[in-house]
Amino acid sequence: MITKGELLKYFREKVIHPVNFDDIVYQLNLSAKEKRPLKRLLKELSKSGEIIITRKGRFAPSQEMNLVTGFFESHKECYGFVIMDKPGERDIFIPSWATMGAMNNDRVVCRVENWQKREGCIIRILERVHKKIPGRFEKSRTGFYVKPKDKSFPFDIIIPRGKEDGAKDGDFVIAEIIEYPSIRKPPTAKIVKILEKIEDPKSEIEAIIDEFNLPRKFSQKVSEEAKNIINYHEKSLKNRVAKRKDLTSLKTITIDGEQAKDFDDAISIKIEKHGYTLFVHIADVGFYVGWDTAIDLEARQRGTSVYFPDRVIPMLPKELSEDICSLKPGIPRHVFTVEMDFDRDGNRINTKFYPATIISDERLTYTIVKKILVDNDVTLRKRYFNILQELETMAELSGLLRNKRLERGSLDFDLPEPEVILDLKGNLEAIIIAERNLAHIIIEEFMISANEAVAEYLERIGVPSIYRVHEEPDQTKLDQLIRFCKSILNIKTPIKSLNYSNLLKTIKGKKEEEIITYMLLRSLKLARYSTINVGHFGLASKCYTHFTSPIRRYPDLAVHRVLREFLYKGHTSERRLKELETKLEEIAHHSSYMERIAEKAEREVVDAMRVWFMKDKVGEEFDARIVNITPYGLKLRLKDFFVEGFLHVSFMTDDFYIFNEKSMELFGKHKKKRYRMGQELKVRIDKVDIEEREIIFDVCN
């Protein structure tokens, strides 16, 4: 029986021109019994975009017909880009007339019309990701429609009469697509939910959960399965510890945020003759959750946990994420341990992987560790004297690892992140810059080391896996950015000798550092998951994966299972390898998409909290700093709070301002006044728009 992998290999290596079904049967010497499975496999490959079916019903490999697959990224001006599935390839520009009605994040097949210009047209939509769309219900002379809240949707959605479900003009609703858009007509939908009026920050978060169609609870089947796992866990502690390495006597700690409940990583360290031995213990979720169980399928669909200021939408039921898989102090827990030996210079010289049982000695927070190691807090150093030496050794090793990573060209983006502070009653209290200290660096460096070790091992033994990849940016984007930086910073270094890493070093400590770092970030491609390893540009890593957070990220859980399977089996059948490769490809695509959804939802909540925080401050004046410039005005961040808003050029009435894209500035045509990135000015809160989640500034004086 022919496998999917064998059929794909045939198309890639043997087929130059389109072939018909009988040609394939003859050339592969297939029997009559194999014709039906062949039809099924051809249908699967066509659906995934790896082969194409011509109008005459012939089959051909996509690459031979200048066809590529990827995700469509749409813009409100109706054009877009195809972000190709194959890592390392530049995006393909799609003009507005060539989108074929594709919507943002749809998976598509694109025909490349001009490789040099990287321009093409969409010829097929493989997967529609949007089923429900939030927006405002509006009535016109011709009928009803919904204006999507997401500005990347270039069209309104038609609501046929009888499908409005009682919605009134101006209501915020959820519309479910009935018919997707085509070249000639917009999408049509029916109203499935009328959202409640937003009256406070809590109801705002509820609305965002609806907007992004995030799950609120687990099914009964999943909940029952979780309860059964708890019973299994109790038995496993008694009966299966012998099959695990007993590390319960090893001093072990967790370091997390104050509010964290899902502790999926713990660390231990020893000083040895060769240097250091570091143990990174990761919750062994795969021990409890097998492939294709009810919990697994639900976790795969969710892809990731989503974190809001007042709650978490977990990937796994709380019985697992906050109980038996969470590495709480003083309780035996099953883990997958990565044991790494480092020499005195921080070079990794040996690695071992094995299941183990640990008992965490202390549940530390980033703040406590910082007070112990940086502030030398006498009281805390006395309280945690039993692990003080280990903490100091961890700080020492993490410093070596960090320096080596930066030396090899890893990017050090030390950017401020907003943190929403709630009082004891859950009310909005403040929005501040989240602290990043030595404790964060310790955990970050140790997790990076473990992730690299796992990725390198799986690549070395040549088995299918999921990698965390980050492609190199386009050289043209880098050159444009460097020219801009040279113009405002008076850098004399030749352009060719500058790269992202030493550009970050050049701007370190300058007042423009934060602004230019944001611009650097915007010029980079997004990191994503792929079964093809092309390295991680941002970390300057040749081989990287995600292994250290299986409670909250599904790819990590998948990598755990792959590691366990091949660590003990050694080898497996070709059929199993192909089956696993296909499954992991689907997981990589879906997880990348769900990660973007989660990040967008989290950003929306922070933006909404900013607006609610500022709603009673209209008319007040604040010091602000320019963080972005567009032809339409200035984006500014307040100094007192981590709050951003927009100053439209129409408010800048003292002159006619023109946007200079090369120098990223607005300058006055008559008075020659200039507004540049990083510049400080005083602004007044002119308007706070709760519905649009926008803050509008006006210039003082």
Boundary (domain end) residue, out of 16, 32, 63: 63
Domain contains 602? yes
What CATH number has the domain bearing residue 161? 2.40.50.700
Q: What is the pLDDT of residue 9?
A: 80
Residues 318, 358 within the same domain: yes
What CATH number has the domain bearing residue 12? 1.10.10.10
Residues 120, 160 within the same domain: no
Boundary (domain end) residue, out of 582, 606, 630: 606
Give the pLDDT mean for 260-289.
96
Contacts for 411 with CB less than 8 Å, ≥ 6 apart? 500, 501, 504, 520, 537, 538, 539, 540
pLDDT, tens only, 405-448: 999 989 887 778 888 988 877 788 889 888 899 999 999 999 99
Residues 461, 346 within the same domain: yes
Contacts for 672 with CB less than 8 Å, ≥ 6 apart? none
Q: What is the pLDDT of residue 493?
A: 60
Q: What is the pLDDT of residue 323?
A: 93
Q: What is the pLDDT of residue 155?
A: 83
Cβ neighbours, 10 Å, residue 417:
11
Has residue 676 got a pLDDT over 80? yes
Domain contains 208? no
**What residues does 384 pair with on adjacent strands?**
none
Residues 319, 399 within the same domain: yes
Report yes or no: 686 and 618 within 8 Å, Cβ to Cβ.
Answer: yes
Domain region containing 138: 132-195
Task: Look over the chain and give the mean of its residue pLDDT values, rounded to a whole number.
Answer: 89
Comparing 236 with 102, the larger pLDDT belongs to 102
Residues 541, 417 within the same domain: yes
Question: Residues of 119-154 as b/e, b for ≥16 C-beta within 10 angstroms?
Answer: ebbbebbebbebeebbbbbeeeeeebbbebbbeebb
Has residue 231 got a pLDDT over 70? yes
Report yes or no: 251 and 271 within 8 Å, Cβ to Cβ.
Answer: no
Domain contains 392? yes
Comparing 570 with 686, the larger pLDDT belongs to 686
pLDDT, tens only, 153-164: 878 999 999 999
Residues 414, 328 within the same domain: yes
d(CA 579, CA 672) in angstroms, rounded, equals 65
Give one DSSP letter per residue of 535-580, joined into a string: -BTTTTBSS----S-TTTBHHHHHHHHHHHHHHHH----HHHHHHH
- Quickly tell me which residue has 């012939």 as its tokens: 58
Q: What is the pLDDT of residue 396?
A: 98
Residues 316, 364 within the same domain: yes
Give the pLDDT mean for 59-84.
83
- Output the 3-class SS for 132-167: EEEEEEEECCCCEEEEECCCCCCCCEEECCCCCCCC
Has residue 575 got a pLDDT over 90? no
Q: What is the pLDDT of residue 491?
A: 64
Q: What is the pLDDT of residue 16?
A: 75
Comparing 697 with 500, the larger pLDDT belongs to 697
Q: What is the pLDDT of residue 237?
A: 62
Structural domains in the chain (count) = 6
Has residue 452 got a pLDDT over 70? yes
Domain contains 89? yes
Boundary (domain end) residue, out of 30, 46, 63: 63
Domain contains 211? no
Report yes or no: 635 and 601 within 8 Å, Cβ to Cβ.
Answer: no
**For residue 127, what are its two tokens?**
């997967």
Residues 433, 563 within the same domain: yes
Q: What is the pLDDT of residue 27?
A: 86
Domain contains 205? no
What CATH number has the domain bearing residue 95? 2.40.50.140
Residues 352, 422 within the same domain: yes
Report yes or no: 543 and 600 within 8 Å, Cβ to Cβ.
Answer: no
Residues 625, 667 within the same domain: yes
pLDDT, tens only, 157-207: 999 999 999 999 999 899 999 999 887 788 999 999 998 888 888 888 988
Has residue 304 got a pLDDT over 90? yes
Q: What percent of the chain has pLDDT over 90?
A: 54
Domain contains 201? no
**Residue 240 banded pLDDT, cuts 50, 70, 90:** low
Residues 282, 312 within the same domain: yes
**Residue 490 banded pLDDT, cuts 50, 70, 90:** low
Domain contains 503? yes
Closest C-alpha among 216, 300, 310 to residue 602: 310
Give the pLDDT mean for 594-609.
93
Q: Measured in whole angstroms, how far is the alpha carbon of residue 39 from the centre of its chain? A: 36
Residues 482, 337 within the same domain: no
Closest C-alpha among 619, 639, 631, 597 to residue 695: 619
Query: pTM of the full predicted structure?
Result: 0.85
Choice among 200-214, 229-243, 415-429, 527-541 with the minimum mean pLDDT: 229-243
**What residues does 350 pair with on adjacent strands?**
341
